[in-house]
Amino acid sequence: MSRERIFSGMQPSGRFHLGNYMGALENWVKLQEEYECFFSIVDLHSLTSSFEDTSKLQENIYEMALDWLSAGLDPEKNVIFVQSKVKEHAELFLLLAMSTPLSWLERVPTYKDKLLQLGELGKDINTYGFLGYPVLMAADIMLYKATCVPVGEDQAAHLELTREIVRRFNHLYKKEVFPEPRAVYSQAKVLPGIDGRKMSKSYGNTIPFGAGSAEMKERIRMMVTDPQRIKKTDKGNPDVCTVYTFHKVFNRENSDEIADKCRAGEIGCVQCKNCLAEKMNCLLADIHLRREELKKKPAFIKEVLEYGAERAGKVASSNMEEIKRAMNVL
Ligand code: TRP
């Protein structure tokens, strides 16, 4: 029985942290057991908004590969590769660009939001490439005829557009070349940063992915707790405490007891933090160790990516031939 095919990608923006892991990568590691997966480090996508300073690009790609392998993605089970190494992504992007109506792109909700958002930061991305971002994403998915795409809320509109592009292509060229991909949603666990806001590099509130026990402990030590609670014996409110939010994610089985003790003033914040640090280190120790080991083997990482690009390239070139035949681009 053949398994359904997944395509997904992540931009190598050099900001991988525990929040990213819990939001997506942890889920990928599970999906690899059930699906045939193509996981791509989408460097071309990162150029749509970061085309000016590309000095860190190669380093970020390498770091992302390191993160993925440390998390437990298996380069034998999955096809793991860098998008730009398979030229057909660019070729299909170009072909799809011809028939994609401008209005479809302009009405993608993330488009204007992001333009404004980055505009406020003084960054101008009023470019052709940025407008075309969802077309490139459609090309990624369609190139492999993927039927499933694990996406978060933020990418749902992009996937919907991919489906429209698929329908239009099949209709225009009178052939069912592409399947309509569907979303596979996961119960993404949203982690706040150590200050309780959204975890984000720009807020300086992240826990780095692959942190060792000392670093983990230090970041947890800095977490904000219930500000009303001054003394250990004060009754606390776990619902406003970041440490408790983390307990609910990483220490589910003990979180009710911890909340009760906090409310009763029976456990102090320091002890509560130590308990969390211990639990998280225990859960994430394997990842940390694997990352440290892999760091010593840059040649291996390079090999994994070359092997992935070769496997992806085979599927891509054969599908590309069929696509171009349907379009009479011979
Ligand atoms: N746009 C996605 C993101 O920023 C990354 C991405 C690129 C992607 N191509 C994809 C995700 C194809 C799923 C499928 O998260």
pLDDT digits (tens, 9 = 90+) for 136-185: 999 999 999 999 999 888 889 999 999 999 999 999 999 999 999 999 98
What is the mean predicted confidence (pLDDT) over 192-218?
91
Please give the single-letter amino acid code of residue 10.
M
| Ligand 1, atom nearest to 151 Cα | 13
The pLDDT value recorded for residue 241 is 94
Helix (H) or strand (E) holding 175: none
Domain boundaries, the chain: 5-190+298-327, 211-286
β-sheet bridge partners, residue 192: 198
User: Ligand 1: which of 84, 108, 140 to mutate, judged by most atoms within 8 Å of the beta carbon?
Assistant: 140
Residue nearest to atom 14 of ligand 1 (CA): 8
Mean pLDDT of the chain: 93
Q: Lay out the sheet containing 182-184: strands in order across.
A: 79-82, 36-41, 5-10, 148-150, 182-184
Quickly state the pLDDT bin for 1 (edges 50, 70, 90).
low
Catalytic residue at 114? Answer: yes
* Nearest in space to 298 (alpha carbons), one of 63, 76, 8: 63
Helices (H), 25-132: 26-31, 43-49, 57-71, 88-99, 102-106, 109-120, 128-131
pLDDT above 70 for 108: yes
H-type alpha helices, 121-182: 128-131, 133-143, 156-172
* Selected residue with higher pLDDT from 1 and 139: 139
pLDDT value of residue 159: 95
If one compares 66 and 15, the residue with the highest pLDDT of the two is 66
Contact 139, 316 (CB under 8 A): no
pLDDT at position 23 is 84
Torsion of CA 237, 242, 245, 246, to 10 degrees: -140
Angle value at C-alpha 114, between 113 and 115, nearest 5 degrees: 95
- Domains 5-190+298-327 and 211-286 fall in the same CATH topology: no
Q: Say what the pLDDT of residue 163 is.
A: 98
Topology adopted by domain 5-190+298-327: Rossmann fold (3.40.50)
Helix (H, G, I), strand (E, B) or coil at 73: coil
Judge whether 198 counts as a catalytic residue.
yes
Range scoring the smallest mean pLDDT among 25-29, 154-158, 324-328: 154-158
User: 162 C-alpha to center of ligand 1: Å?
Assistant: 11
Model confidence band, residue 238 (pLDDT cutoffs 50, 70, 90): very high
Question: What is the rounded CA–CA span in Å between residue 9 and residue 30?
Answer: 16
Q: From 3.20.20.100, 3.40.50.720, 1.10.287.130, 1.10.240.10, which CATH number describes the 211-286 domain?
A: 1.10.240.10
Q: Which residues contact 38 (CB under 8 A, 6 or more apart)?
A: 5, 6, 7, 8, 78, 79, 81, 144, 146, 312, 315
At 190 the pLDDT is 79
Q: How far is the CA of 8 from the centre of ligand 1 (A)?
A: 6
Residue of the CA atom closest to atom 6 of ligand 1: 9
For 38, the token pair is 């193509």
Identify the top-confidence range among 117-121, 178-182, 189-193: 178-182
Atom of ligand 1 nearest to the CA of 7: 14
Confidence band (pLDDT; 50, 70, 90) for 279? very high
* Per-residue pLDDT, 174: 95
